[in-house]
Amino acid sequence: MEALTVLVILAAAVVYTLYKGINIVPQGEEWVVERLGKFARTLKPGLNIIVPYIEAVREKVSTRDIILDIPQQEVITRDNAVILTNAVTFIRVTNPRDAIYGIEDFQLAIQQLVMTTLRSILGEMSLDEALSNREHIKAKLKEQIIDDVADWGVTVKSVEIQDISPSASMQESMERQAAAERERRAIETTAEGNKNAAILEADGKLEAAKREAEAQIALANASAEAIRLISDNIQDKELPAMFLLGDRYINSLEQISKSQNSKFVIYPADIQSAIKGMLGSAFKN
């Protein structure tokens, strides 16, 4: 009975030893093995055998692409604007030994490295540059962190900037600034329109004055020519001028009498004597 018990115990020990020594590593992973507390080797995907009780699996490392979410953070730009930004990083472990022994937590380390580097890059840029140069920021960020993470046995596949936006207070300030700018432009447009209208009105008055002056000159020249022609036929020097003045006065009275608003027509009491005088002088000559 005791011998049977011993055999059962031995068989159980053998099975347990085989169980501990035989390891099947799935695809997409590599296992780090230590021998008596010291790094021994890395197990590749497939069937692997280790020495039980002497060797042990320290860490199971994924060799697939790992997605690291970079939390949102506030960043102050070069022109003292506060913006909010976050990102996502795609990495892959290429050397499990360095990833385990090179740093305590490579994922947390890369996350913090991306955050600080991103904050440093944006701090050297103005608000407008930060909002309009995502590709430049992404390329510069990857360039600055790629050497550091290589020491940890990790390759940075890509860094994507998810969002860069002004903070809530900054957005309110920008909206007020935009509204003030629109109002300023509206005032400038109105002032420019009023100025142009005043210039056009002044030009119109000037042109009208020029035309009126030209008309007066033409009328004066016509009157002078008429007086000259009459003087050539009548020897009296005063009669032509008196005749023209009387003719213009009679025309004016005619225009006034045709007006719908006219109620009375006033003319000098001696107009008849003046006309008789002109006619008499004409007949004498």
**Unique residue bearing structure tokens 């695809």:** 27
Alpha-carbon span 252 to 260, nearest angstrom: 15
> What is the pLDDT at residue 283?
44
Alpha-carbon span 69 to 256, nearest angstrom: 95
223 CB-near residues (< 8 Å, 6+ apart): 244
Structural domain range at position 273: 234-285
In a domain? residue 86: yes
In a domain? residue 245: yes
In a domain? residue 221: no
Examine the domain organization and report whether 36 and 79 are in the same domain.
no
> What is the pLDDT at residue 81?
85
In a domain? residue 228: no
Examine the domain organization and report whether 81 and 144 are in the same domain.
yes
Bridge partners for 86 per DSSP: 163
Which pair of structure tokens corresponds to residue 235?
């020897």
pTM across the whole model: 0.58
Instruction: Give the H/E segment covering residue 33.
Output: strand 29-35
In a domain? residue 16: yes
Round the average pLDDT of the chain to a whole number and report it: 80
Number of domains in the chain: 3
User: Pick from 72, 108, 102: which is nearest to 87 by CA?
Assistant: 72
Domain boundary among 137, 166, 195: 166
227: pLDDT strictly greater than 90:
no
Percent of the chain topping pLDDT 90? 29
In a domain? residue 157: yes
Examine the domain organization and report whether 37 and 100 are in the same domain.
no
Examine the domain organization and report whether 106 and 143 are in the same domain.
yes
Alpha-carbon span 47 to 24, nearest angstrom: 5
